[in-house]
Each structure stands twice: as C-alpha cells, then as structure tokens.
Chains A and B, each alone.
Chain A
Amino acid sequence: MNLKEWQEAFYKGIFDPTQENIQHACHGVNGTENLSSEDRLGIYRGSILGGITSGLTGIFPVCEKLVGEQYFTQMVSGYLKQYPSGSPDLGNYGEHLPAYISEFEPAKELVYLPDVAQLEWLWHTAFNATDINELSSLPFRPVSELAAIQPEDQALIQFCLNPSASLMQSNFPVHQIWGVNQEDFEGEQTVNLDDGGVNLIVWRSQDFGMRIDVLNDDELKFLTAIQKGKLFADIAGMTFSLPISELLPPYIQMGLIAGFNLGKQ
C-alpha cells in the first residue's frame, strides 16, 4: 500500500468504521501490548470527530442545546459520513446540516429543528460575510449615486442587498426559538409553535451589528424580487399593500439595500 492508498484507507476507517475498513486502515500500523493498532486508530477517530463536533457546536449552539450533546454528536457523525468537509476551514463546514437534519429519522419529531439550523447557518455566514468597505471593487454602485440616474434610466435600476443578507421562511416561529435559547435571554422561556410561520432576513449592518428582522409577506416579496435582481420597472409593476415610495427608503437608510446596478431592458 503506498502513502496515498493508506491515507484513503485511513479516512474510511475513521468515517465509515466497518470492521473491514478498520482492518484496512490499520495495515502497517504498529500495535503494542497496551494499545492495539485498532485502539490507535480509535484515538484518532475520537480526536477528529470531537474536533469537528466542537466546531459545529460553535456554529449551531441552539441546535445542540435543543437536542443535547449526545444526540448532537450522533447527528454530526452521520452528517460527516454523508457530507464530507471540503474546505480546510472548519468554519465553512455545516451548510448542509439543515438538509441532513430534515432527513434524520430520529429528529423527525423536532419539526422545527432544520429551520433552527438554517437560521444559525445564516447567522454564521452573515457574521463572516465580506464587509463592503473591504471589497477592492464593489459589485454594485453605492446608493449615494442614485440621484445621478437619469429619469429615463430609473426603470433599469437593480437594487442590491447587503452582501451579508439572506432571506428565509419557516413554518415555525424559529426566531423566537432561537431567541429564548440565547445565553443572555431574559423573559418568558416558552415558545408556542402555534404562533405560526415567519419570514426572516438575517444580515450584518455596517457597524457590525448582527440582525434578524421579521418581514411581513409584502416585505419578503419585495426583498426577494430585489435579491433575484429584478429591474425596478418590474418591481414597480408588482402589487404591494404599501406604495414602493414607502417600502424602499427605510431599507436604504438602514443599509440593507446597499447599492444598485443598471440592468438591461
């Protein structure tokens, strides 16, 4: 077995520890009286799974709190087998955990758990998203240049959301579940699942303030259209309960709409 073959065998012996895979991974590994080669592979398995579980606990602390450490560890172990980590940065790992949880049979009764995981992932990505000031070239023009747009070009404006922003919809009050499980939460701990679904936007403002804002259906529709890059003319043709002249300015003011481009007709 050359080095590459052994490294592949080792990986399988860690993440898919069937007896055959373990034996293969232990090929050429020295065992001693106190520690067999399988024991030694087991030390690495514990270290690897422990490290990754700890990383994911950091990204999904509410999920871990809701299901408990043991259950979370078990879930992570299955997740790792199905969705290997493809980046040297452990902070990039976990994007597919919400999808995995939704298929994870033992978690079926916790119907809201995949959405809680999704909210935590969006929080994590917003926290680490590129700061607009750090971009060497902005992917859009700043809103301050809006005034310079000729009236005949206004229909072609495509507004752009802050790069940290993500929209999500849930059939459950996940923002409340998330909120009551924060360390600094004070108040009524109970969440009534019958409170129903919610539309959310998760983002980070210019002063590094992390935000989870609740949106009504109109606001979600409006911001989704913007996120999809629809032209202002098309958005103006959509029906909202408020006129666009009232919907738009607050988002620009708070920095959620961070810039614009001019699209093509």
Chain B
Amino acid sequence: MSSYKFKGHEIQGAGLGLRSSHYQEIFDTKPDVPWFELLSDNYMSDGGLPIIRAEKIREDYPVTLHGVGMSLGSTDPLNTDYLSKLKALTDRIEPTYVSDHIAWVSVGGKYTHDLLPLPYTEETLHHISDRISQVQEFLGRKILVENPSSYMTFDSTDMTEAEFIKGITQRTDCDLLLDINNIYVSAVNHDFDPYEYLKGIPSDRVKEIHLAGYEKMDNYLFDTHGYQVHPPVWDLYRAALKQFGAIPTLIEWDTDVPSFTTLRQEAKKAEQQLKAFS
C-alpha cells in the first residue's frame, strides 16, 4: 500500500529532470514543481545515497522514471538482472511512468552507454515490439518508448520513423514519450519534414513530451541536452500541443547542468505554452 502523498497516476504541467547538483536546493526550498523525472539507471544500486534521496523527493512530488539501459533494439537477450532492479525501483518509488528508448545500447553483452540507431524494417519492428511486450510483462505495467535523435539512416529502411513508432504501439499497446528536440534534430540530419512526422504519430498514445537543447555542428545537429531549447523546437512543440493537447512536458538538461533557477525558467516557458492548450 502506497504511503506517498502523491499517488502515481496523473502528472501534468512542466516537470524537471532531477539532477544531483540540485538535490539540496530542492530539499531546502521545496519548490513548486509539478513533478520530477529521475534517470532510473542512477538509482539501481543496492543502496547508498542516491536511492535515499530519490525516496525523499518522492515524498513531496510525483515522479517518472526514465532510463537508457533496456537496450530494446539490441539483438542480445533482454537483461533480466537490469529489469529486476528496475522492477524493484518501480515498486519502491511508484512512478507515474517508466520510459526508455527506441534504440539499442548493447551487443554481445557489451554496453556502449549510448542510444544507437536501428534500420526501420519489418524485421526490426517485429524484433523490438516483441521485446517491449516482454518488458511490459516483466514489469507488470505499460511502458513509454521515446523516439531517439539520430545521425544515421540505412538503405534497408522501408518505413518512416513515425510509421515504425505507430507499428510499435499497435503491436505492444505501449505508450509514447515524444521528444520534440529529437524529432527536430533527426529531421535536420536526415532532411525530412518534422511537421509531417508529427501527423504520423498516433495522438492517443502520447503521454509525455521531452524538450532539450541541441548543439549546431558544421554539418549536423548534435543532441547534447546541454542548452536552452532552441526556437525551431519551441515552434514544433506548439504544433505538437495543438495536435496532442497539453501533454506533460519535461525539460532535459544533462550536460553543463545550469542552476536550478535557470532550469525552472526554461520549464516556465513550457508551462506558458501548456496553459494556452489546456
């Protein structure tokens, strides 16, 4: 039986990614933040300070868990040790959502700790859908899967990313975490129309949105999560809200993490947009 003040069913508004440099300020000031997203992989140790802090945050806020370790697109067997730890964490933290990426991270038991691209084919669709279903069964709950940013496409690909994602939701009944920055980054890198992409996403599946800042390199956009959200991403975000409604939105800022105040200012911009569409 949950003892948390906020039960894990509904979140709304603009949440923040929880980063260790902000713990103290959050504990001291109990800021008015609608929810926090925790990087699940950081809280899977058997003990130690991280999990204690996570529980302390959970006492005052709803949380979501977001990870990079499921390696859903890998051809390795699913890592049941990882999934067991994740299940234990979800039992303990009672998150509203658990999410990971449409990507692969490991092969041959070796981990790259990065989100790697997949060819969008019938074979891959079958493969990843099967694994998502297994994960959902193991965890005993639906998960959200997120569209990755990418720098590579394949000549074997025979469907768009949006078609691939739609196929996944149809086969697995999972929900979606739509990363608007990733759509924009991939659209520039692979020269497609991000607004057309949005139209292909099944509206009833989008439960959470991510926003982040990319870095402009010479010949491509690089998804660093180290900047403020750029204007074309805000534009695309407004189009997404128009299509999907006021979906709970998270600002991700993982490298060169700014002050908590700066992060909150960025979230307030998203909050204003959300109000216009709620």
Interface residues of A (CB under 8 A from B): 2-4, 6-8, 10-11, 14, 28-30, 32, 34-35, 37, 39-41, 43-44, 47-48, 51-52, 54-55, 84-91, 93, 127-131, 134-135, 204, 208
B14-67 CB contacts (< 8 Å) to partner A: 41-42, 44-52
Q: CA of A88 to CA of B104 in the docked complex: distance in angstroms?
A: 11
CB distance from A90 to the nearest CB of B (A): 5
| B156 contacts across to A, CB distance below 8 A | 28
Q: CA of A48 to CA of B106 in the docked complex: distance in angstroms?
A: 12
Q: Are A91 and B45 in contact (CB under 8 A)?
A: yes
Q: Are B119 and A3 in contact (CB under 8 A)?
A: yes
Chain B positions 74 through 112: 1 when the CB is less than 8 Å from some CB of chain A, otherwise 0: 110001001000000000000000000000111111111
Determine, out of B146-154, B195-203, B266-274, the stretch whose residues face the partner at the interface.
B146-154
Check: B114 CB closer than 8 A to any chain A CB.
yes
One of B48, B107, B219 near A39 (C-beta < 8 A): B219
CB distance from A216 to the nearest CB of B (A): 29
Can you report 18 A-B residue pairs in the complex whose CB atoms are below 8 A from each other?
A3-B75, A7-B75, A8-B107, A11-B110, A29-B153, A30-B153, A32-B191, A35-B219, A43-B220, A86-B109, A88-B70, A88-B106, A88-B111, A89-B41, A90-B113, A91-B45, A128-B46, A208-B49
Check: B176 CB closer than 8 A to any chain A CB.
no
Check: B155 CB closer than 8 A to any chain A CB.
yes
| B75 contacts across to A, CB distance below 8 A | 3-4, 7
Name which residue of chain B comes closest to A132, CB basis. B47
Name which residue of chain A comes closest to B46, CB basis. A130
4 tightest Cβ-Cβ pairs between the two chains A and B:
A88-B69, A130-B47, A4-B75, A84-B110
Q: Are B79 and A88 in contact (CB under 8 A)?
A: yes
Q: Are B116 and A3 in contact (CB under 8 A)?
A: no
Chain B positions 208 through 235: 1 when the CB is less than 8 Å from some CB of chain A, otherwise 0: 0000000000011010000000000000
| B46 contacts across to A, CB distance below 8 A | 128-130, 134
Q: Are B151 and A44 in contact (CB under 8 A)?
A: yes
Check: B127 CB closer than 8 A to any chain A CB.
yes
| B41 contacts across to A, CB distance below 8 A | 88-91
Q: CA of A263 to CA of B25 in the docked complex: distance in angstroms?
A: 48
Q: Are B116 and A44 in contact (CB under 8 A)?
A: yes
Q: Are A30 and B79 in contact (CB under 8 A)?
A: no
Q: CA of A2 to CA of B126 in the docked complex: distance in angstroms?
A: 14
Q: Are B119 and A30 in contact (CB under 8 A)?
A: no
Interface residues of B (CB under 8 A from A): 41-42, 44-52, 68-71, 74-75, 79, 82, 104-114, 116, 118-119, 123-124, 127, 151-156, 191, 219-220, 222, 255
Given contacts A134-B51, A208-B49, 13 further A-B contacts (CB under 8 A): A2-B123, A3-B118, A4-B75, A7-B74, A7-B104, A11-B110, A47-B222, A87-B111, A88-B71, A88-B79, A127-B49, A128-B45, A128-B49
| A86 contacts across to B, CB distance below 8 A | 109-111
Q: CA of A11 to CA of B219 in the docked complex: distance in angstroms?
A: 24
| B116 contacts across to A, CB distance below 8 A | 7, 10, 44
Q: Are A130 and B48 in contact (CB under 8 A)?
A: yes
| B106 contacts across to A, CB distance below 8 A | 88
Q: CA of A234 to CA of B123 in the docked complex: distance in angstroms?
A: 63
| A30 contacts across to B, CB distance below 8 A | 152-155
One of A6, A43, A88, A128 near B151 (C-beta < 8 A): A43
One of B48, B110, B155 near A127 (C-beta < 8 A): B48
Q: Are A88 and B105 in contact (CB under 8 A)?
A: yes
Q: Are A10 and B107 in contact (CB under 8 A)?
A: yes
| B48 contacts across to A, CB distance below 8 A | 127-131, 204
One of B79, B114, B154 near A51 (C-beta < 8 A): B114
Q: CA of A11 to CA of B106 in the docked complex: distance in angstroms?
A: 9
| B109 contacts across to A, CB distance below 8 A | 86
Q: Are A48 and B113 in contact (CB under 8 A)?
A: yes
Q: Are B152 and A52 in contact (CB under 8 A)?
A: no
Name which residue of chain A comes closest to B123, CB basis. A3
CB distance from B120 to the nearest CB of A (A): 12
One of A4, A34, A85 near B219 (C-beta < 8 A): A34
Q: CA of A3 to CA of B126 in the docked complex: distance in angstroms?
A: 12
Q: Are B152 and A44 in contact (CB under 8 A)?
A: yes
| A48 contacts across to B, CB distance below 8 A | 112-114
Q: Are A55 and B113 in contact (CB under 8 A)?
A: yes
CB distance from A14 to the nearest CB of B (A): 7
| B49 contacts across to A, CB distance below 8 A | 127-128, 208
| B154 contacts across to A, CB distance below 8 A | 28-30
CB distance from B43 to the nearest CB of A (A): 10
